[in-house]
Structure 1
């Protein structure tokens, strides 16, 4: 989540928080006013193969076919009528040559070509900075590891605050606070970090004092046997996924993660690295172009390759990548898992704040949610319980069931103490989303922006004492 430091700031900044907002192009992947379309029209696979979701958009009852001539590519459905969603599945490419094919979709009068590309197996042996070290690194599968993480909490608006740890209104993190989080039933802590505090900006050299402070906060959680997800957060928004910025971002990302990974290389499996946060083109909240998601996928690959190359325990560390803008639909449709020299150590992260008018919009008249809502005028017509289940089932089908653990890295709904009766519906939302996430194999990680006594906050702990400030919400999260 981007910065949230006041009610006004919340309204502005929540626009860049979730790839799952309630705008039409975020909640409905079906194009309107089109007779026939296929999304995406360009598909890329890594050398290890995998699956990619394909969507057929067509008028109800209209027949369509897919023609595929590649023996290394299989398609779950090659004909049908009306809308459809299914996978392209690529076998591992054991050759040292990239391979390409074209799948032709037809509705009888119109053809659409889907370009499919798969990278070659690397021709050179992977080079590590130091010898890989599997000691004290879990051998659990990615999915089993995610299940062990339990329920999580974000130390939001703190180490990612531009201008310093206390710049967005929260006190410095402490062992007392993290002890309180653990005691409340949370087993995982996500620590958003803005790493661009440089001693040498031209070489992206992270300041040693800042590196030491982040380590101190990580140690608060590690010392009490919590899992820690440590990421590169918004950080001023320098990570724009465009062709014009691709080389610059990948260079900067690699140099920063090499330093971070090397510094934390000796930590055991409890420390998880997450490469990015909510990557999107500033101001563009629509469905990403092929340029946008292709470049964003390259950021994920740069992160994984850089961390693995540092060797030691990082050769076996669990790593988290994200789908485009952490939007569930975009992740299913466009995310490509990076190539990884270590098998079964990748996690995928998405976020969830639907419906936006209920969860984040402090001026909205939408103040009720779910089956217990009593006033249709105060309730969205979408994003109810069935929608929540469908979104999380989509992640289970496309990732968990294919051996990739899923992190729900952020979710939450603001308090509306100025709206009588709102808390009951907020509790319904929090309880349902938290439990549905767990039931579908996702690790729910609550977004806490601090300032728990303020209206429109998502803070649930006193940041000075570690005391729970909203027992009902905490119970709804961890139940």
Structure 2
């Protein structure tokens, strides 16, 4: 029964949190600076999704406690709280509150500033000793409100001191939370009154009515003095943890018009107790965010771990850990283990994850946005990667087929923030983030929270670098796939088809409603793209088979725009992108219908200057025969003429409608053709000429370009480093000019990064893992050996060799070997999963065997239909110590090779080695 009650409480709290977030005012009670509005919007946006970490600075007005947390966990708390406890002595004593340097440094490093005030008063009139404790002073709270009294004079003199510092912060563009007069009721709400049932601080000693008047007097005086950068936080006692002995202290609440956030201070409370407190406070103040104002050890030891607290359902907006010991201590009232758990939790926001939205500025129009994007790149085969085992969208099992490990199911490793830092340092200005959603939502269109959080993280990686980010709905559209027997192996639920639109309209709109709501307060750097390459029911490329397909495209575009606009916030003006049918570019003259995708796309109704059109283009730079085989290189003159003619079509049929254009994907059309060889490998000089002309021409015509994939791929994305640095440089110089010479980390100069062991999770029958990629020299190697943790089930696993003829060999032992003598022309060796049931294998090692019986380790790579976990590889940003030697002078350089005197957080080069600040 106890378990049932607990479960019911969790369900109630989760429902209440969702309701409360909708009921909370989107406007702070007094904050009117842009910084304060943006900070409040950030708190509201995160509320119920994640909890924001904070630590109390010790009384020396510094950041040393936060530094200790960083040294322990590798992460800074998102917020640092400063106390005005000694303002009465400042600046004559050891603290000079007029020097806002500590708070400004924290803010400039990406942190959030919190302020509170243990408001000290003289122990008696004229005394120099001060206190907060009512039994130690003759200071009467009620007299503080009476003009002419010494208490009133002290009250306003001290407020003036605090206001002077806060106004300095305000002038510096810094907003903060403000928690004065905390824990006012103390023990005063005890049901059985006694000598000890009093307020703990002087501001509560004269009772609830006087206390509320004090709060309002401070609120009004701050407002009168021009303080507009504070988020006001009131602290409740909430039954003092025992409703059988204490009344609720709602009589002490100043009122909704004077409070933004309600806090509770808890010490030593476990996860269940946190849940009880959170639910009670949320019920009492349903239209306010609820936070853990203070926390730390109690008599019972550490408080509940934040991972457990969150899992129980206590979704505090933030938590703030108190410091330990005397003034100057860098210890906190939580153990090292507690901090490690908190700062590694997926539901806890650390300083590096803080991205404050801009809800105050007018969003630039679409034309300016496209001009300002700079050079773009696609983060492809990452969040868009997906694998299907079920292909019928009318059935429940089609939906939500994968968890967040899908990001790696096409061979990429999880995206890291450092990759975006590298792209920004190189000179890129915009990143398109393709995302596939069907595999992470249910049949009704509800997106999995873990997936939305992961998408949010990656978007933040881009936005935090000051780059534009395009977020889309990707492989929910596209061409369906079939096997050699014409059996459906891949189905895309969004199609340019009237019947499909009628069937999926509600689901599609619900998907976009969730995405738009998640990011409604993000500023102009974030753009939404409604759909990727939407094809008709016949999977027709280049143009649709009937005009109704174009009608369906326009209906999907209208639904997308209407839903996003309806969510309000910055979405009311956000620049939105709609693609042509199939994102077809209209390039070519071989059929009169090729231009139809451009001609038929309409600007959604009600829109004017915040819509962008998108097309994709992969022209050929070589001549091919009818079978697609290489014949000869095209001349650069021919290629330029094709680009010029295509550009004319874009202007005639799209730009003329009143919206700018982006090339959302581009490259050359034989990428990955011919045994893994690409134009970059086979026709580099011609490709570089094409790339240069393409970028220069589009820039001159105010069309932004987003190169598909390439540049950095596979494990090097995690170093991060470029796999095609020369191509990246050619593109960057085409955009910025020939003098542009950034430092581009080259993957060749990093550790090889082979994944030597891993757990392979096969999620599809016939899924394959590549264990060797590339031609085999049989004069050097005689075979390949795999070491498994356990013998696979009979018939489950086999070697699949891609050679002059494909061949599969069954694996029936823990240490299978494959000899090469019977094969010719080996290009690739995979492990194939042969059964319909999902399964996993643990690979301990894979080695090529030489003729002298020595071995050479191989690297594991996802081919399709599987994911990797528990992988061991010699890369990852934490492990990198060897980089190209460029400087040996002890000076710190950024990735553009420029010396940095005061490095902030990011990636730098010191004596030729990459360091992470």
Q: TM-score range by the shorter chain?
A: 0.5 to 0.7
The alpha-carbon deviation at position 353 of structure 1 amounts to 0.5
Alignment equivalent of 2:684, drawn from 412, 415, 423 = 423
Q: Which residue of 2 aligns with 1:331?
A: 597
The SS at the match of 1:206 is coil
- Structure 2 counterparts to residues 32-181 of structure 1, below 5 A: 135-163=359-387, 164-181=406-423
Q: Is the 8 A contact 1:353 1:411 kept in 2?
A: yes
Distance in 1 (alpha carbons) for counterparts of 2:597 and 2:664? 13
Do the aligned partners of residues 307 and 367 (structure 1) sit closer, same or farther apart at CA in structure 2, a change above 3 Å counting?
farther
SS at match of 1:349: strand
Q: Deviations over 1:71-94 (max 9, x none)?
A: xxxxxxxxxxxxxxxxxxxxxxxx
Distance in 2, matches of 1:316 and 1:336, equals 19
Match of 2:466 among 191, 208, 225: 225
What is the alpha-carbon distance in structure 1 between the residues aligned to residue 526 and residue 680 of structure 2? 40
Q: 3-state SS of the aligned residue for 2:599?
A: helix
Tell me the residue number matched to 2:699.
438
2: distance between equivalents of 1:240 and 1:173? 29
**Higher relative contact order structure (alpha carbons within 8 Å, sequence separation ≥ 6):** 1
The TM-score normalised by the length of structure 1 is 0.63
Q: How much has 1:249 moved relative to structure 2? A: 2.6
Equivalent residue number for residue 252 of structure 2: none
Aligned to 2:636: 371
Counterpart CA distance in 2 for 1:259 and 1:449 is 31
Q: 1:362–1:293: structure 2 CA closer, same or farther, 3 Å change rule?
A: same
Mapped to 2, the partners of 1:409 and 1:335 lie a distance apart of 16
Question: Where in structure 2 are the equivalents of 1:307-326 lying within 5 Å?
Answer: 307-326=564-583
Is the Cα–Cα contact under 8 Å of residues 386 and 436 in structure 2 kept in the other structure? yes
Secondary structure, counterpart of 1:332 in structure 2: helix
- Would you say the 8 A contact 1:434–1:477 is kept in 2? yes
Alpha-carbon shift at residue 252 of structure 1 (Å): 1.7
SS in structure 2 of the partner of residue 463 of structure 1? helix
2:542 paired with 1:290:
no
Q: What is the rounded CA distance, in whole Å, between the counterparts of 1:419 and 1:224 in structure 2?
A: 29
Distance 1:158 1:420, change over 3 A: closer
Distance 1:303 1:154 in 2: 22
SS in 2 for 1:158: coil
Residue equivalent to 1:244 = 499
1:466 alignment partner, one of 720, 726, 731: 720
Judge conservation of contact 2:498–2:552 (CA < 8 Å) in 1: yes
- Residues 394, 165 of structure 1: CA spacing in aligned structure 2 closer, same or farther, 3 A cutoff? same
Does the 8 Å CA contact 1:408/1:444 hold for their aligned counterparts? yes
Residue 261 of structure 1 aligns with which residue? 516
In the alignment, the residues of structure 2 paired with residue 272 and residue 261 of structure 1 have an alpha-carbon distance, to the nearest angstrom, of 10
The CA deviation string for residues 86-133 of structure 1, in whole angstroms up to 9 with x for no partner, is: xxxxxxxxxxxxxxxxxxxxxxxxxxxxxxxxxxxxxxxxxxxxxxx9
Runs of 5+ in structure 2 lacking a partner? 1-356, 388-405, 477-490, 587-595, 735-917
In 1, the alpha carbon distance for the partners of 2:568 and 2:627 equals 46
What is the alpha-carbon distance in structure 2 between the residues aligned to residue 149 and residue 136 of structure 1? 21
Q: Secondary structure at the match of 1:189?
A: strand
Residue deviations 1:316-365, cap 9 Å, x none? Answer: 1100001111112233221111113x541100000111128679x99631
Per-residue deviation, residues 180-237 of structure 1 (Å, max 9, x unmatched): 11122110000000112445x2311000000000000000011110100000002352
Whole-Å Cα distance in 1 between the matches of residues 679 and 618 of structure 2? 20
Asked if 1:279 corresponds to 2:521, the answer is no
Deviation at 1:428, TM superposition (A): 1.5
Pick closer, same or farther for the CA change 1:226–1:451 going to 2, 3 Å.
closer
What SS does structure 2 have at the residue aligned with 1:388? helix
Larger Rg computed on CA atoms? 2
- For the residues of structure 2 that align with 1:150 and 1:191, how far apart are their CA atoms? 16
Separation in 2 of the partners of 1:323 and 1:474?
A: 28
Structure 1: which 5+ runs fail to align? 1-132, 373-382, 454-460
Q: Tell me the distance in 2 between the aligned counterparts of 1:259 and 1:183.
A: 32
Distance 1:219 1:451 in 2: 20
Cα contact 2:680–2:687 (8 A) shared by 1: no
2:472–2:531 Cα contact (<8 Å) kept? yes
Distance 1:179 1:397 in 2: 38
Residue 298 and residue 176 in structure 1: after superposition, are their counterparts in 2 closer, same or farther (change >3 A)?
A: same
Q: Determine if contact 1:369/1:428 at 8 Å carries over to the other structure.
A: no
Q: Hey, what's the Cα distance between the residues in 2 that align with 1:212 and 1:362?
A: 45
CA 241–267 in structure 1, closer or farther in 2 if over 3 Å, else same: same
Provide Cα deviations, 1:142-178, integer angstroms capped at 9, x if missing partner. 2122101111000000001004000001111001111
Contact 2:608 2:658 in 1 (8 A): no
| Aligned partners of 1:170 and 1:451 also within 8 Å | no
TM-score (normalised: structure 2): 0.34
> Measured at CA, do residues 451 and 135 of structure 1 come closer, stay the same or move farther in structure 2, by a change above 3 Å?
closer
